[in-house]
Structure 1
Amino acid sequence: MPQPHLYVARTLTPAVMAELDDLGLPVVAGEEAPPARDRLLAGIAGAAAAIVTLTERVDAELLDAAGPQLRVVANVAVGYDNIDLEAAAERGVVVCNTPGVLDDATADHTFAMLLATTRRVVEADRFARTGRPWIWGPNMLVGLDISADATLGIVGFGRIGRAVARRAHAFGMRVITSDPGLNVGDAVDGVTVVGFEELLATADVVSLHVPLLPSTRHLIDASALARMRPRSYLVNAARGGVVDESALIDALRSGHLAGAALDTFEGEPRINPEFAGLENVVLQPHIASAGDRTRDAMCRLAVRNVTRVLAGEPAETPVRTPVATA
């Protein structure tokens, strides 16, 4: 049996990697790129703890490969759809994630994407780089005035959704939300709670902030897209599987939606090549939390969770039984 160790599936931030030796546990670390499945299975064998990212599938096979001494799996992400929680619970393995520390960075990037698509920033940049002759005109690259009573609909009003709402209020937007944990008609932090159908029909911009669960997979499907306001916008900084990408492509091509901004994708890291041919979509390679201090904080929280569990203490941010949030 290999010596119990800490398995780190992918390289963490430099500052955190430099501190791992202080844990007093041998460290087996992967590289920057996601490990192949055989290397993942070999690396985790005999581990007492594992730090993984959303690119690693933690299922019964992997947990069994680790062995019975595995006590904790820390996911460097808020989402945990890559982890079989039932299989972990059956084996007595604590699963942790990294909520809270990335709220502001993700909200900042969400709003950056909102501005980029509604004001056609990326489209204008591509145009300017062509070198084609142009002259200013009243109808050139006109987008949505978000500060002119535009309505933002936030689907899922957790920490990140609320952080996005604060930014929207600063820009003068009206904000509504749909969340099954809130009562329709209530006002929370200056945000009106409405039903999902009303949100789709009312919002100029729909922003998604829900986990990927069976209940939220393809939440935004062809039917939901058809119910969105004509010439409205969709922003997704949640998980790619929340959106039916084929239906979204159709809605963008038809002009029913004026635009979309996507930070995550169903087949990630593969991106549906049909998106590349659309001028009215902003594509980002899952970087909403990619602030320097934020990524450090995510990695440090994962390490703290491992340290606490191995010391016989409760995890700081254990993953609890998921519930639908949309």
Structure 2
Amino acid sequence: MRATTKKVSLNVVSYSYYERSEFLIVFYMFALRKLYNNKNMTKLIYITRAIPEVGIQIMKDNGYIVDIGSTDDAPSKDELIKTLSQKPYDALVSFLTDSIDKEIFDACPTIKIVAQYAVGFNNINLEDAKERNIVITNTPGCSSRAVAEHAVALMLSLTTRATEGDEYIRSGKFTGWMPGLLNGVDLTGKTIGILGGGAIGQEVASILHFGFNCPIIYSDVKENIFLKEKIGATFMDKESLLKQSDIVTLHVPLLPTTKHLINKDTFSLMKKEAFLINTSRGPVIDEVALVEALKNGVIKGAGLDVFEFEPAITAGLEDIPDVVLTPHIASSRASVRAEMAKIVGQNVVNFFEKGVALNEASC
């Protein structure tokens, strides 16, 4: 008898082009994953830009293969998608400048964890990650003191007019001492209004309360025990805080509820001699309204380390004398960057080796 064979065919006709393509991508990535596991028995990590070696070494010490983006510039989304589609990476180390969402996860469906090299993570679509059971981690705490010191430095730059003085000399205007030249105001004793009583807000309060004898008032979703008991700060609603503060400093995350937290209406509540400080996230302030408020004398000045349309600067900000601008460097200390890298490495290793996500981010 002749042996007969039964032909089995996959009915792929019923699937759309996009469904078949997605299936093939997933199949390809998992086939590569199996190949890598058989050869290396290790994890593949992709870092979009270089971080301090301490974090990379933590991963390498556990046998992980670490690939790093080739430039210091932020990759475009298309570039990142192209790179991630070439290997079955297990983990992605991302920056605030990287847009992480469904398209990224589609390009590399083997990703299990995104370890953000930052405290904030508003560049990551948490819902897209949740749908695929991808864990998101961040690096909280290590930059709090540095950011707080920078916020106070912006206050001092405005009250002492130090940056104006620097420009005055560099432009060749200085001809000798004059008693009325660039008179500033005292920071000591000023009422400081803190919007956001988290780790950074608490550090700011400590510096100004103990170092400058400043009364501290603050507003947050709930009362803070440290600010109440250690600082003697007064808890109040946002509107009352804006009316009473000589300096308002922002330390809130960027959420739908905090976007344009400071706007045309809130500027009208502030003192005419008030300064506004932002080292949190740019879109917390409506910068078009800020420019108008400054030009019209609604408030005195502003110190900004972050910007609504970063890296673009809102038209008019650079032309106002009572404005100090720094290029998102509040946490830019070698010690802070190294600690952030260390936390990233620990987050990745702990997740794979112990099955526990350290510093897991949440909405």
Do Structure 1 and Structure 2 share a fold, with TM-score over 0.5?
yes
Tell me the residue number matched to 2:19: none
Give the CA RMSD over aligned residues.
Answer: 1.8
Partner of 1:58: 100
How far has the Cα of 1:300 moved from its partner? Answer: 1.1
Q: Distance in 2 between matches of 1:59 and 1:20?
A: 24
**8 Å contact from structure 1 (residues 76, 97) kept in 2:** yes
AA partner of residue 113 (structure 2): V
Contact 2:55 / 2:344 at 8 angstroms: preserved in 1?
A: no
Aligned partner of 2:26 in structure 1 is none
Q: Deviations over 1:78-115 (max 9, x none)?
A: 11110111111111011011111111111111111111
Match of 2:169 in 1: 128
Greater mean alpha carbon deviation, residues 250-259 or residues 171-180: 250-259
Bigger radius of gyration among the two: 2
Tell me the percent identity. 37
Q: Secondary structure at the match of 1:257?
A: coil
Deviations 1:100-136 (A, max 9, x none): 1111111111111111122211111101111124343
Aligned equivalents of 1:311 and 1:43: distance in 2? Answer: 26
Instruction: Decide which of 250, 274, 278 is 2:320's aligned counterpart.
Output: 278
Whole-angstrom CA distance in 2 between matches of 1:233 and 1:156: 17
Question: 1:154 aligned to 194, 202, 217, which one?
Answer: 194
Shift of 1:60: 1.1
- Map Cα deviations across residues 208-251 of structure 1 (whole Å, 9 max, x no partner): 00000000000000111111111100000000000000011111
1:242 and 2:320 equivalent? no
Distance in 2 (alpha carbons) for counterparts of 1:307 and 1:177: 38
The corresponding residue for 1:290 is 332
Q: Is the 8 A contact 2:59 2:349 kept in 1?
A: no
Q: Alpha-carbon deviations, 1:145-178, whole Å to 9, x = none?
A: 111x210100000001000100011211111100
**Deviation of residue 143 (structure 1)?**
2.0
One of 179, 185, 188 as aligned partner of 1:144: 185
8 Å CA contact retained: 2:49, 2:73: yes
- Which residue identity is paired with 2:120? G
Gaps (5+ residues) in structure 2?
1-28, 37-42
- 1:173-206 deviation line (CA, Å, top 9, x unaligned): 111100112289x934321111101110000000
- What residue identity is the alignment partner of 2:79? R
- Is the CA contact 1:118–1:259 (under 8 Å) kept in the aligned structure 2? no
SS of the residue corresponding to residue 254 of structure 2 reads coil
Distance 2:315 2:55 in 1: 36
- What letter corresponds to residue 29 of structure 1 in structure 2? I
Aligned residues between the structures: 318
2:168–2:174 contact (8 Å) kept in structure 1: no
Partner of 1:11: 50
Residue among 75, 89, 92 paired with 1:47: 89
> Of residues 96, 106, 110 in structure 1, which corresponds to 2:151?
110
Q: Give the gaps of 5 or more residues in structure 1.
A: none
Letter matched to residue 66 of structure 2:
V
SS at match of 1:227: coil
The 3-state SS of whatever aligns with 2:111 is coil
Partner Cα separation in structure 2 for residue 140 and residue 310 of structure 1 = 61
Give the Cα separation in 2 of the matches to 1:201 and 1:311: 52
Q: Distance in 1 between matches of 2:174 and 2:156?
A: 25
Higher-strand-fraction structure: 1
Question: What CA distance in whole angstroms lies between the structure 2 residues aligned with 1:219 and 1:231?
Answer: 20
